[in-house]
Amino acid sequence: MRRPRVLLAATGGTIATAPGGDGVHEVGRRASDLVATVPGLVELAEFECADPVSLPSHALTPEHMCRLAHLVAEADCEGVVITHGTDTLEETAYALAVMLERRVPVVLTGAMRLPGRPGADGPANLLAAVRVAMTPAVAALGPVVVLQDEIHLARYVAKVHTGRVAAFASPGLGPVGSVVEDHVQLQVTSAPSDHLGLPARLHRRVELVWAYAGAGGELLEACRGAAGVVLAGTGGGHVPPAMLEALERLLAAGVPVVVASRTGSGPTLEGSYGGRGSESELRRMGVLAAGTLGPLKARLRLQVALELGLDPGGCFPA
Ligand code: ASP
């Protein structure tokens, strides 16, 4: 029987580490090494291996994500698996959702436990990711994240624990499918698209500023010269009154500002509250609302929109 062609792109992370001389682990294993960690994997699919970058994921940048998107867009295959560090996995997954058209299944995975440790999860996650990537119906969901036999949508997935193997969740939604007894089971067959387009580069400066009790305008002042700013607002998308003057100056300078909620789930509010720093006031000032998109992902969406020359107002709420 013909095996489906799967692009395996390794980008680094715990899943690709190997023990170093002084007891710590460092990224170093390539895509072809990862294939060899799962007995029988080569019988499932015909792998094209690529190593676009090899870094811990806290060192990856939107430029890496953009290059990865080009690699996937140009791949001649029936499914794509990307191995990635877990720290910023949700950011790359969402950036790909914004940049890629839905053509073939695109699956991101990683590992929480170091290879060689008892119960290392990398090989099992890779096997599950390959099975999901070989399932044509997954293409309609956009890029998905597979760990612990669960399938998560790029828009919702988040790393929610620093060390547990069960580190990923989709707050406000839950997983949309799973891998059970080697079979892929989907709870949904479609998901709203996040696609905007594929820019040549992704390097404009878009800052993310956290709102917190007692925050002033200093960090927003430091955003002058940025191409855009995302505010991680409190609750339904609010900011402390002491941030407003600096915010006004940014908007007057033509910097697009998007407010998301720092809570981790639920939409930004539209008109429940009035008063200083409320969602109603921010709207009046011209601040865009992220809707259900969290701050990290709103930032990437704004960055892609600006890079493509799109009006941010047409891209939010997302
Ligand atoms: N520090 C690692 C990374 O994100 C963590 C991991 O892969 O689990 O690259």
Q: How far is the CA of 71 from the centre of ligand 1 (A)?
A: 22
Q: What is the mean pLDDT of residues 41-61?
A: 97
Query: Is the C-beta atom of 143 inside 6 A of ligand 1?
Result: no
pLDDT by residue (tens digit) across 63-84? 999 999 999 999 999 999 999 9
User: What is the band of 1 on the pLDDT scale with cuts at 50, 70, 90?
Assistant: confident
Determine if the pTM surpasses 0.75.
yes
| Active-site position among 11, 14, 83, 109 | 14
The answer to whether 143 and 103 have CB atoms below 8 angstroms apart is: no
Choosing from 86, 89, 147 the residue with most ligand 1 atoms within 8 A of its CB, the one to mutate for a pocket test is: 86
Query: Is the C-beta atom of 57 inside 6 A of ligand 1?
Result: yes
pLDDT at residue 20 in the model? 74
pLDDT by residue (tens digit) across 181-219? 999 999 999 999 999 999 999 999 999 999 999 999 999
User: Which candidate, 190, 38, 68, 58, places its Cα nearest to that of 128?
Assistant: 38
Q: How far apart are CA 149 and CA 177, in angstroms?
A: 9
Whole-angstrom CA distances from 256 to 137, 260, 263, 268 are 37, 13, 22, 17
Residue nearest atom 3 of ligand 1, based on CA coordinates: 85
Q: Which domains does the chain have, with CATH numbers?
A: 5-186 (3.40.50.1170), 206-314 (3.40.50.40)
Buried b (16+ CB within 10 A) or exposed e, 138-166: bbebbbbbbbbbbbbbbbbbbbeeeeebe
| Residue 37 annotated to the active site | no
Residue 88 neighbours by CB distance under 10 Å: 22
Q: What atom in ligand 1 is closest to the CA of residue 13?
A: 9
